[in-house]
C-alpha cells in the first residue's frame, strides 16, 4: 500500500506516469491543431469542432482528462446539483466533498479529503456564558445547558491536499451519506400497537373499556394513594395545611385551594396580585419568600393587543379546579431502576399543569438531598414567576399560549400521551464484542431536530432532572423543546432523576408554539398548528427521547473509558429498537456547557445507533466544519467495514493517548490514521 507520505499519488490514475500524461495532452493538442488547419471543412463545421474542443488549453485540458478534488463549488461534476428540500433552501450534501473513493489507486476506500494533514483546529465548543454557575437556579439540577448548539466548530483534516491534484475522470462512486428522505419515520414504519390496557408496568389514567368502544376519553375510576411511590395530589384526603393563629389549626388542603381558585374562576378579570394572594393562602410558609415579579412585569409589558391574561387567569383556575373529576386514580412515580409507563389524556395533562401553574402540589417546594422529593425536578411554577428577565418573558408567552388553547372548548386537544421510563441492564463487554457495522447517516448543518426530524425519534439533550431549567432561566435545547411542547413539563411531576442506564421516551406530545433564536435570543414566534396523524392509541405520532449526557467540569475528564462506556450505555438505552421503530434525529448531544467533545459524542452516537439497529439524522446546528468532517469520517468507517468492536478498541487506544498527551489529540484524525495504517499492512 502507498505510504501516507505519498498520498498525493493516489489521485493519479492507476498506472499513469508524467510522460504518459504529457503524451496524452500533446496528442490531443496536435489533433485539435490538425483539425483547425484543414481547409476542406465548412466554417460552420469548423466552429462546431472548435466549440467541442475549446476546453483543451494548458490548464483546462487536464481538467477534462483528469478527475480532481470536488470540494470547490465550481468544480462539481456534470449533472451534480445541490439537494433542495421543499422549503426551497439549498441543503448541502456530500456530493462534491467526496470524489471517486472506490476508484483510487491501490484499492484505498477512503474519501478524497480536501484538507492538509495536521491542519487542525481547537474545539472551543462551549461558551463560557452558558456554563451553569454553582448555586444558581440553572445549575446541574436547574438547567440543561449542555445542549451543544454553540457556534464554534471542530475540524477534521486527515487527508492529502487537493490543491493542484489531478486524476483521470471516472464515474462517481456512491456515497455512504444517505438522504434525509431515506430514513425511517412515523407513521410509515410502525407496527400495530395492540389494545391499550392497564398493567403492573403501564398505568392508564383513562377508562380503557370506554376507549375501546370508541365512546371517548373518560377518567379511570380509582382511589387516592398517599404513599412514597405515588404522586401526592393536592386534592388528597391526607393532605393538610396549618392555618389560624400561629398555624395551630389543621385544615384539609384542598378545601383551602378550591376556595381560592373558585374565587378566581368566578371573576371576569383577575390581576397578578389576585393570583399571588390565592397561591400564598395555601402556601403560607412562603409568604415573603416567593416573588411574582416576572409574572407581574410580563403582564404589564405585553402590548394591549396581545394582553388577554387577566381573562385567561380565571379559566386556568377553573381548569385546575376540575382535578377531582379529571384524575380519579393514583399516579405512580416513575422511579429509578424500573421500566414503567404512564398514559393519560391531554385534558388530564392540562388539568395537572393548571395545578402546577397555581402551585398546588404538596411536598414539592423544598429541594435538597434530604427533601422528600429531592430526587425529583420541581413542578410548581413559583420559580418561573420570580426574578424577571427577558428570557422569562418569552417563556411565559409560550406557556400562556398553551393555556389559551387548552381552556378553549373549540381548540382543546383530545388525544393521549405516554411517558415511558426505560431501564436497561448493561455489560461493558457487549461493546467489546459487538459485530454491528455503521448505521445509515444523514448529516446537515441546516434545519432543526423538531422540524426536519419530524416523525423520527427526536433526541432531547436532557438534564438528569428532566426538563432542566424550563421553570427557571435555562433556555437551551431541552428547555426550548419543553416550551414549544408544554405537555412535556408534566414529566417533572413523576419522573425521578435519570440514572446512567435510563432514559425517558414521551409519545404523543403536541407542539403548540413556534420559536426563533436560542438562549438570550430566544423568542416566542406564535402559534403552531400540529397536523400530525394519531396512532391507534390516539397519540400524535411524535416521539421524544430524553437522554442526559455527563457534565464535565474539565474537558479532559471525558477521555477515559469509564465515561465513554457510560455515554454508550445511555445512548443505547434510548436508541435500541424494540420493533419497527423510526430512525433517530439527534445532534451535538452534551457539547455545550457540559463540555462534550463533538467528535467523540458523534462517534458514541454512531456506535449506539449501530447496536440499536437504527439510522441517524445528525444536525450540527450551523457547524459546517463538523458536518463535513463527520460525513467524511462516516464514509471511511463504512467503506472500511468498521465494526462497533473495532471502534471501541480505537476509543480505548485514543483515551490512553489523550491521558498521556498534554495537548488535544484530534479523534477523527486518530481514527483515520489507525484505520489507514491497519489497511496498509494487509
Quote the CA–CA distance of 28 and 123 in Å, as a whole number.
49
Question: Which grid cell is 438?
Answer: 455503521
Give the E-state strand segments of 574-636 in sequence order: 584-587, 616-619
Name the maximum alpha-carbon separation found in the chain: 119
Question: C-alpha distances in angstroms, 499 versus 340, 364, 531, 539?
Answer: 14, 21, 34, 27
Q: Which of 171, 168, 170 is nearest to 25 (CA)?
A: 168
Enumerate the H helices of 185-268 as residue ranges: 208-212, 253-265
Which of 130, 172, 478, 535 is flagged as catalytic?
A: 478
Quote the CA–CA distance of 305 and 167 in Å, as a whole number.
66
Question: C-alpha distances in angstroms, 434 versus 500, 570, 655?
Answer: 20, 16, 19
DSSP lists the bridge partners of residue 344 as 417
Tell me the CA end-to-end span of the chain in Å, nearest whole number. 8
Coil/strand/helix, residue 589: coil
Question: Which grid cell is 452?
Answer: 426536519
Quote the CA–CA distance of 46 and 398 in Å, as a whole number.
70
Q: Which of 117, 12, 101, 112 is nearest to 65 (CA)?
A: 12
Q: Do residues 341 and 203 make contact, with C-beta atoms less than 8 angstroms apart?
A: yes
DSSP H or E segment with residue 646: helix 644-660
478 is annotated as an active-site residue: yes
> What is the distance of C-alpha 564 from the center of its chain?
19
Would you give the DSSP letter of residue 60?
A: H
Which of 420, 450, 452, 460 is flagged as catalytic?
A: 460
224 is annotated as an active-site residue: no
Q: Do residues 366 and 379 make contact, with C-beta atoms less than 8 angstroms apart?
A: no
Q: Do residues 210 and 196 make contact, with C-beta atoms less than 8 angstroms apart?
A: no
Coil/strand/helix, residue 640: coil
Coil/strand/helix, residue 417: strand
Contacts of 330 (CB under 8 A, 6+ apart): 222, 223, 224, 225, 230, 231, 233
Quote the CA–CA distance of 144 and 653 in Å, as a whole number.
31
Where does residue 34 rank: exposed (0-12), middle (13-18), buried (19+ CB within 10 A)?
exposed
Count CA within 13 A, CB hemisphere, residue 657: 14
Angle at CA 216, nearest 5°, toward 213 and 220?
Answer: 90
Neighbours of 149 (CB within 10 A): 24
425 is annotated as an active-site residue: no
Angle at CA 458, nearest 5°, toward 140 and 538?
Answer: 115
Mapped to the 3 state alphabet, what secondary structure does 8-33 carry? HHHHCCCCCCHHHHHHHHHHHHHHHH
Q: Which of 110, 154, 116, 173 is nearest to 633 (CA)?
A: 110
If you count DSSP H runs as helices and E runs as strands, how many of each does the chain have, helices first? 21, 15
Neighbours of 284 (CB within 10 A): 12
Which of 98, 137, 479, 666 is flagged as catalytic?
A: 479
Q: Annotated active-site positions, please?
A: 460, 478-479
Amino acid at each position: 500500500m502507498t505510504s501516507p507520505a505519498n498520498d498525493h499519488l493516489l489521485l493519479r490514475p492507476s498506472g499513469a506516469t508524467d510522460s504518459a500524461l504529457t503524451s496524452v495532452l500533446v496528442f490531443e493538442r496536435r489533433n485539435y491543431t490538425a483539425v483547425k488547419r484543414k481547409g476542406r471543412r465548412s466554417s460552420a463545421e469548423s466552429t462546431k469542432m472548435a466549440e467541442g474542443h475549446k476546453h483543451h488549453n494548458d490548464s483546462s485540458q487536464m481538467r477534462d482528462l483528469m478527475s480532481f478534488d470536488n470540494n470547490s463549488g465550481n468544480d462539481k461534476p456534470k449533472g451534480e446539483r445541490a439537494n433542495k428540500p421543499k422549503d426551497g433552501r439549498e441543503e448541502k450534501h456530500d456530493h462534491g466533498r467526496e470524489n471517486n473513493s472506490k476508484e483510487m489507486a491501490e484499492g484505498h476506500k477512503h474519501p478524497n479529503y480536501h484538507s492538509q494533514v495536521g491542519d487542525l483546529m481547537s474545539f472551543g465548543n462551549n461558551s463560557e456564558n452558558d456554563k451553569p454557575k454553582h448555586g444558581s437556579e440553572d445549575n446541574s439540577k436547574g438547567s440543561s445547558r449542555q445542549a451543544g448548539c454553540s457556534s464554534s466548530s471542530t475540524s477534521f483534516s486527515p487527508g492529502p491536499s487537493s490543491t493542484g491534484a489531478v486524476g483521470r475522470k471516472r464515474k462517481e462512486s456512491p456515497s455512504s451519506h444517505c438522504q434525509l428522505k431515506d430514513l425511517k419515520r412515523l407513521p410509515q414504519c410502525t407496527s400495530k400497537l395492540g389494545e391499550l390496557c392497564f398493567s403492573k408496568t403501564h398505568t392508564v389514567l383513562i377508562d380503557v373499556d370506554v376507549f375501546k368502544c370508541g365512546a371517548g376519553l373518560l377518567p379511570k375510576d380509582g382511589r387516592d394513594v398517599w404513599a412514597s411511590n405515588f404522586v401526592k395530589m393536592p386534592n388528597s384526603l391526607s393532605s393538610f395545611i396549618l392555618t389560624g393563629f400561629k398555624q395551630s389549626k389543621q385544615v384539609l388542603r384542598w378545601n383551602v385551594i378550591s376556595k381560592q381558585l373558585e374565587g378566581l374562576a368566578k371573576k371576569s378579570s383577575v390581576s397578578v396580585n389576585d393570583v399571588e394572594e390565592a397561591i400564598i393562602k395555601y402556601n403560607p410558609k412562603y409568604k415573603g419568600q416567593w416573588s411574582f415579579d416576572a409574572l407581574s412585569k410580563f403582564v404589564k409589558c405585553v402590548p394591549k393587543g396581545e394582553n388577554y391574561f387577566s381573562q385567561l387567569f380565571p379559566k386556568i383556575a377553573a381548569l385546575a379546579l376540575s382535578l377531582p373529576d379529571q384524575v380519579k386514580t393514583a399516579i405512580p412515580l416513575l422511579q429509578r431502576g424500573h421500566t414503567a409507563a404512564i398514559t393519560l389524556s391531554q385534558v388530564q395533562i392540562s388539568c395537572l399543569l393548571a395545578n402546577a401553574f397555581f402551585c398546588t402540589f404538596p411536598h414539592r417546594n423544598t429541594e435538597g438531598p434530604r427533601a422528600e422529593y429531592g430526587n425529583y425536578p420541581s413542578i410548581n411554577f413559583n420559580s418561573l414567576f420570580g426574578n424577571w428577565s427577558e428570557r422569562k418573558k418569552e417563556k411565559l408567552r409560550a406557556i400562556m399560549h398553551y393555556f389559551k388553547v387548552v381552556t378553549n372548548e373549540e381548540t382543546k386537544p383530545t388525544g393521549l400521551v405516554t411517558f415511558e421510563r426505560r431501564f436497561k441492564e448493561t455489560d461493558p463487554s457487549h461493546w467489546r464484542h459487538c459485530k454491528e457495522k455503521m448505521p445509515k447517516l444523514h448529516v446537515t448543518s441546516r434545519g432543526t431536530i423538531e422540524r426536519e426530524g419530524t416523525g423520527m425519534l427526536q433526541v432531547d439533550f436532557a438534564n438528569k432532572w428532566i426538563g432542566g431549567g424550563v421553570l427557571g432561566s435555562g433556555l437551551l435545547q431541552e428547555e426550548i423543546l419543553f416550551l414549544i411542547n408544554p405537555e412535556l413539563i408534566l414529566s417533572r411531576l413523576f419522573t425521578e432523576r435519570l440514572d446512567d442506564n435510563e432514559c425517558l421516551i414521551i409519545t404523543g406530545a403536541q407542539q403548540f408554539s413556534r420559536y426563533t433564536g436560542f438562549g438570550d435570543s430566544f423568542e416566542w414566534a406564535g402559534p403552531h398548528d400540529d397536523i400530525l396523524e394519531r396512532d391507534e392509541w390516539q397519540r400524535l405520532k411524535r416521539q421524544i427521547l430524553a437522554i442526559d449526557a455527563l457534565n464535565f467540569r474539565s474537558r479532559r475528564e471525558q477521555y477515559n473509558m469509564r465515561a465513554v462506556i457510560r455515554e454508550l450505555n445511555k445512548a443505547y438505552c434510548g436508541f435500541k429498537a424494540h420493533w419497527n421503530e423510526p430512525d433517530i434525529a439527534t445532534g451535538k448531544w452534551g457539547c455545550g456547557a457540559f463540555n462534550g467533545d463533538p467528535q467523540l459524542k458523534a462517534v458514541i452516537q454512531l456506535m449506539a445507533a449501530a447496536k440499536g439497529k437504527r439510522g441517524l439524522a445528525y444536525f450540527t446546528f450551523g457547524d459546517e466544519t463538523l458536518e463535513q468532517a463527520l460525513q467524511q469520517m462516516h464514509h471511511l468507517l463504512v467503506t472500511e467495514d468498521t465494526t462497533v468492536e473495532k471502534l471501541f478498541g480505537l476509543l480505548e487506544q485514543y483515551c490512553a493517548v489523550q491521558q498521556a498527551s498534554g495537548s488535544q489529540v484530534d479523534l477523527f484524525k486518530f481514527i483515520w490514521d489507525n484505520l489507514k495504517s491497519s489497511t496498509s499492512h494487509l
